[in-house]
């Protein structure tokens, strides 16, 4: 299948009410592990490269080109997406490199500034046939959009989508970024309201803190794109700690990174099965069809 468009993965998932998995790349080893998981499960996967990841590597091109190369040679359908990008120049660099979608993150700005900045970059991206996700935050971005108590208002979300022209929207429904425990409980009624109100797919950030069954229920209620990073990073790090703890004299990094890469591949494959298995849709949500696109 090789490299595919993010839109093809997300739109198909929304139509069939399953999760479109979007897992973050940290370095080449995690990218390899994630592609392996997609191939083992024959499941579409979106590989995400965040602005933080780009900064870690020093520039956009090395990690982006490597990730695109893995996608292009994969037996599974893989899309490559830029995640949480605040700088317009990085968007332009990513599009020039060949990514098919970007998440324009102006959520820390006041609402009107968020709309203006997002609309301008969305227009540019659409001129270059690039799919755009955005994030609607509180006014001023206080506490971050996905602080557990924050909730997205359907009417404001619809106004934001109409004003910016974005193709997907990250909404706040009870998750929070960088959670290390999978204990979050999501507002499924709000998810259903947002799905009914918006003509674009819903994106869940902070999914690392959401347990499997809760993810299934959220997808059944109307969530589509599911972003996971911290949980898989923890799997990688835990494996390295275990390997080095068992053999403190080990110095060849390949000998502790290889099992960590395999641990991530196994957990990512398990999560792909969780997200791609349709869950029964409760009657109160089944009646809420998505708004016309």
- Distance in angstroms (rounded) separating the CA atoms of residues 38 and 222: 23
- Distance in angstroms (rounded) separating the CA atoms of residues 128 and 51: 20
Nearest to 64 by CA among 50, 75, 78: 50
- Distance in angstroms (rounded) separating the CA atoms of residues 97 and 112: 30
Cα 104 to chain center, whole Å? 12
- Distance in angstroms (rounded) separating the CA atoms of residues 255 and 45: 27
Task: Give the gyration radius of the chain's Cα atoms.
Answer: 18
DSSP-based three-state secondary structure for 170 = strand
**Catalytic option among 83, 105, 167, 187:** 83
Q: Is there a catalytic annotation at residue 83?
A: yes
Indicate which residues carry an active-site annotation. 83
């Amino acid at each position: 299948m090789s490299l595919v468009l993010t839109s093809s993965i997300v739109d198909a998932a929304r139509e069939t009410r399953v999760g479109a998995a979007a897992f973050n790349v940290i370095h080449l080893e995690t990218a390899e592990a994630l592609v392996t998981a997609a191939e083992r499960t024959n499941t579409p996967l979106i590989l995400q490269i965040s602005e933080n990841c780009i900064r870690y590597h020093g520039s956009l091109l090395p990690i982006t080109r490597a990730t695109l190369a893995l996608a292009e040679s994969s037996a599974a359908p893989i899309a490559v997406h830029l995640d949480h990008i605040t700088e317009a120049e990085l968007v332009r660099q990513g599009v020039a490199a060949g990514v098919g979608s970007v998440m324009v993150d102006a959520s820390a700005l006041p609402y009107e500034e968020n709309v203006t900045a997002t609309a301008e970059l969305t227009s540019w991206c659409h001129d270059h046939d690039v799919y755009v996700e955005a994030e609607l935050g509180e006014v001023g971005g206080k506490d971050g959009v996905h602080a557990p108590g924050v909730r997205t208002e359907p009417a404001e979300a619809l106004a934001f989508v109409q004003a910016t022209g974005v193709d997907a929207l990250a909404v706040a429904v009870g998750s929070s970024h960088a959670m290390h425990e999978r204990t979050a409980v999501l507002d499924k009624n709000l998810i259903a309201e947002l799905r009914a109100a918006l003509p674009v797919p819903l994106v869940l950030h902070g999914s690392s803190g959401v347990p499997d069954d809760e993810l299934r229920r959220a997808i059944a209620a109307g969530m589509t794109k599911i972003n996971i990073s911290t949980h898989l990073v923890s799997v990688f790090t835990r494996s390295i700690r275990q390997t080095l703890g068992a053999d403190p004299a080990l110095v060849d990094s390949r000998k502790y990174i290889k099992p960590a890469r395999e641990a991530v591949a196994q957990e990512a494959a398990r999560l792909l099965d969780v997200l791609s298995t349709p869950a029964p849709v409760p009657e109160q949500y089944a009646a809420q069809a998505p708004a016309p696109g």
